[in-house]
Amino acid sequence: MSLASRLIIVCLFNWYFTVEINFCRAQPASLLDSAKFWQKNDKNRMFGFAILAKNQAIENDQQAELAQAYYFLSDGFLARSMIDSALFYNKLAIEGNRKYSQEIDVVQALNQKGLIYSNTGNYDLAWEALSDALSLLKRDREEIPEDQRKKLMQNVINGLGILLIKQDKYHEADSLFKALLLDEKNLPGYVRMFVLGNMGSISYYAGDLDNSLKNHRQCLQMAIELHDLQSEVVSLQQIGNVYYRKGLYDSTLHYFSCALDTEKQLGDKIIRSQLLNNIASVYTKLGKPALANEHFLESARIKEELGDLNALAVTYGNIGINYLNFENYEKAGYYFRKAMAISLNTGTQSGMALAYSRMGTLYSDSKQYDSAKYFVLKSKVLYTKLEDPYRLMLSDIALAEIEQELGNYRESLDLALIGLEQAEKQDAGFWQAQARIAAAKAFFKLGRLSEATEVLKDALNYGEREENYEILGDVYDVLWQLNEAKGSYDLAFKYFRKMAELEDSIFTVQKHQQVAELETIYETQKKEKENLELKSENEINSLKIRNRNIAIASMTLVTTLIIISLAFIIYLYRKRTRAYKDLVRKNLELARLDSEMLRGAYDIPEKMKVNFQKAGNEDFHKDLDLAERFNRYFTEEKPYLYSNITIEDICVVLNTNRTYLSRAIHAAYQKSFNTLINEMRVRIARQMLSDKKLDHISLEGIGEMAGYNSRVVFYKNFKKLTGLTPSYYRESVKNMP
């Protein structure tokens, strides 16, 4: 770099900080105040002012101010994942603040020390630092103003709770906070609120979602009464998290949106970026990728502005998951690699482990199972080093599913059972169910049907108890296949029907949940009114009149909301009915087109011929000739109408082998032989069901005529291709003019 270039950079650097300092003269009064001002909203600016404050304090021999500057420098290094530097300056901050009796700054530095050690997995040292901070706060001293004591107490208690949860010590955490709640006389209201919030988080991670919801609702009520906006935002966010775990995404979106609206009064960019990230995740589940990406990218922009690289990597990973859910593997891989690059740059092992895990998910979803196994194993190695039992459990369950796809059923079973054992140790009900499902699939493939059925019982109970539709859907899917293999066709049909009806069940449950919430709100308000009436005998009459009016207004509001909810449900029902009618008309039109196509042989279209050339096979002319012979035989002889037809049978007729014929079929039709057979059978069945002259033939008869020897398989394939069940389609055709 030339001397002129260096001078320009120095001038620009000095100009930048001169502008920043002049700007902050209209804001905080000193360099330390400026660092504090930017601490939440821009770590880079905070770090710059901390450096200036340190230099100024050294120059003027201001030891107390120097200790405070060390605190901000430590925070800046922590944001950059430079742990050694963060610990070095944190130690200087604690020593300096203790020397000059700056108790509030000592507490902040100890809390910071706990956070640093917690992030690096040194939980004993983190616990020691946070305990020291809590001891200082419990002392009745005038050095710390009450409002600042309140905020510091919240940070320390939250830190202790998070620390215990990270170590999966749910019972110890629960005991700690229950002991705090017993001391009601000496426990300020805001501390009680923080404790309830942490207990809600503990129940959440332990899988007790109903208790978690109860605690967070109590915490929200106290936050509203104390006019604590930040705690109100956090409580709304936590309630949303519980509903997300339950799979009730409409309720989740409602609470996250309320939290985001309340946050606008705070102006806290860190919380805002978290909420935007959460809302984006809900939109992903609701099948709205554009809205999800909009919120993810806004969250990423804020995190980049704050200089929070680790959080930015997490958000990039979430964007990748959004694309992955909609099978855009190229975009998903792009954002997963961006997240991996950031983690490599910052040297964050937990970030690298998460990035490897997500790459494993990408390759698993795109059916590249060898690559998926490679990345999940890499993530497992890192999680072993980090001593993270929760993530190790997830890795084992993921590997169990991958080994199953690779056909290694014995290995899959062993991994699933290890994952189940780990999940039971951590009281992780959801992952116990996932591990049981993976084990059941392995038992099924190994022919151990009774064991597969037995291991699924607890998973089914969990899904029904927690109303978790993701688990129930997977359990029903395995159960109908198990019972079909056993020959229990009545049970197979029962579970297959439950699986098909699950989407409608989700819709109904969400509406019931909304009505239940309205009733809870009404009951809460009613109890509060009753308590107010007991305050003074002289106010009883006036309170009765006032409360009666409020009750009437509340009942009117609740009734109105219920009517609106019912009207909305009716609207959605009619909308769905119209959609089904449109689907019937579309299938009827396709049936008419099928009748023309099925009359005789037809030539391979030009666009299909191009596929042979793209395949890069020098003998593509031979493959094309074979495909044309197959096409002619397929449309003239209609072998798909025979239930026991195989590709080997057709190879004999066409005088070829399975490899050549499979390659020719795939190049011509872009699908496998079995897929093509099922598609043609469904087309034949749809054509027959569209013909009112054949109404006297049963659905089973139609299925047999189309080439199916199993009613369950016929129903499954017909629904998959047409979007409708055979019975619904036939009845709808009957009622059409």
The ranges assigned to domains in the chain are 505-583, 597-735
Enter the tokens of residue 254. 């409602």
pLDDT at 607: 52
Q: How distant is the alpha carbon of residue 43 from its chain centre?
A: 28
347: helix, coil or strand?
Answer: coil
pLDDT category at 1 given cuts 50, 70, 90 is very low
Question: Is pLDDT above 60 for 537?
Answer: no
CB of 112 within 8 A of CB of 71? yes
Counting residues of the chain whose pLDDT is more than 90, the rounded percentage is 5
Q: From 361, 368, 371, select the one nearest 397 (Cα to Cα).
A: 361
In this structure, of 68-77, 173-182, 691-700, the range with the lowest mean pLDDT score is 173-182
Residue 91 CB-density burial (10 A; 0-12 exposed, 13-18 middle, 19+ buried):
middle
Quick one: pLDDT at residue 318? 86
Q: Kindly report which listed range (7-21, 191-205, 584-598, 691-705) carries the lowest average pLDDT score.
A: 7-21
Query: Any alpha helices (H) in 326-468, and if so which ranges?
Result: 329-346, 349-365, 369-386, 389-405, 409-425, 429-445, 449-466
- Closest CA relative to residue 362, chosen from 353, 371, 354: 371
Tens-digit pLDDT profile for residues 455-493 = 888 888 888 887 777 888 888 888 888 888 888 888 888
Locus of tokens 């072993």: 384
How far apart (Å, rounded) are the C-alpha atoms in residues 316 and 301?
A: 11
Q: How far is CA 316 from CA 76, 296, 493, 708, in A?
A: 22, 8, 42, 47
Question: Counting every residue, how long is the chain?
Answer: 737
Return the pLDDT at 20: 42
Among the ranges given (275-284, 388-397, 486-495, 593-602), the one the predictor scored with the smallest mean pLDDT: 593-602
268: left (phi over 0), alpha (psi -120 to 50) or beta: beta
| Statement: residue 600 has pLDDT above 60 | no
pTM: 0.45
Mean pLDDT for all residues in the chain: 79
Reported as half-sphere exposure (CB side, CA atoms, 13 A), residue 502 has a value of 20
**The one-letter amino acid at 446:** L
> 134 by DSSP, 3-state: which?
helix
pLDDT bracket for residue 521 (50, 70, 90): very low
Lowest-confidence range among 45-49, 572-576, 683-687? 572-576
Alpha-helix residue ranges (DSSP H) falling in 226-308 = 229-246, 249-263, 269-285, 289-306
Distance of CA 323 to the CA centre of its chain: 13
Longest dimension (CA), the chain: 103
Candidate from 1-10, 77-86, 335-344 with smallest mean pLDDT: 1-10
Question: Are 187 and 181 contacting, i.e. CB atoms less than 8 angstroms apart?
Answer: yes
Structure tokens at 594: 């099928």
pLDDT at residue 7 in the model: 34
The pLDDT of residue 651: 92
Q: Tell me the pLDDT band of 402, cut-offs 50, 70 and 90.
A: very high
Indicate if the pLDDT at residue 603 is higher than 60: no
More confident site: 549 or 389: 389
Q: Residue 552 and residue 564: Cα distance in Å, rounded?
A: 18
What integer is the mean pLDDT of 424-445? 87
The pLDDT value recorded for residue 439 is 92
| Sequence-distant (≥ 6) Cβ neighbours of residue 695 within 8 angstroms | 730, 734
Q: Give the mean model confidence (pLDDT) for residues 597-610.
A: 55
User: How many other β-carbons are positioned within 10 Å of the β-carbon of residue 227?
Assistant: 8
pLDDT, mean of residues 372-378: 91
The pLDDT value recorded for residue 398 is 92
Q: Which of 309-313, 483-487, 603-607, 673-677 has the lowest mean pLDDT?
A: 603-607
Tell how far CA 96 is from the center of its chain: 44
What mean pLDDT comes out for the span 189-208? 78
Secondary structure letter of residue 619 according to DSSP: T
Residue 615: DSSP 8-state:
T
Cα dihedral 612, 618, 624, 629 sign: negative
Query: Which of residues 735 and 217 earns the better pLDDT score?
Result: 217
Number of H helices, E strands in the chain: 34, 0
Of 93, 186, 98, 177, give the one whose Cα is nearest residue 139.
Answer: 186
Residue 362 sits at φ, ψ, to 5 deg, of: -60, -50
Task: Convert 1-52 into a string of H (helix), E (strand) and C (coil).
Answer: CCHHHHHHHHHHHHHHHHHHHHHHCCCCCCHHHHHHHHCCCCHHHHHHHHHH
Is CATH 1.10.10.60 what the domain over 597-735 is classified as, yes or no?
yes
User: How much is the pLDDT for 619?
Assistant: 64
Going by pLDDT thresholds of 50, 70 and 90, the confidence category of residue 518 is very low
CB atoms within 10 A of CB 238: 22
* Amino acid letter, 177: F
Closest CA to 686 of 643, 730, 634, 636: 730
Confidence of residue 529 (pLDDT cuts 50, 70, 90): low
CB 67 within 8 A of CB 35: no
Is residue 681's pLDDT more than 60? Answer: yes
Separation of alpha carbons 460 and 473, rounded Å: 10
Query: Helix, strand, or coil here: 160?
Result: helix
| Token pair belonging to 537 | 């005998």
CA angle 613, 616, 619 (to 5 degrees): 75
The residue among 559 and 213 whose pLDDT is bigger is: 213
End-to-end CA distance of the chain: 82
| pLDDT for res 78 | 83
Q: Which residue carries 């399975």 as its tokens?
A: 658
359: number of Cβ within 10 Å: 25
Percent residues over pLDDT 70 in the chain: 82
Q: Tens digit of pLDDT for each residue in 64-121?
A: 888 888 988 988 888 777 888 888 998 898 888 888 767 778 888 888 888 888 877 7
Enter the tokens of residue 277: 């990230």
Query: Which token pair is 347?
Result: 């040297």
| Tokens found for residue 578 | 């119209």
Confidence (pLDDT) at 539: 56
| Residues 421/391, Cβ–Cβ less than 8 Å | no
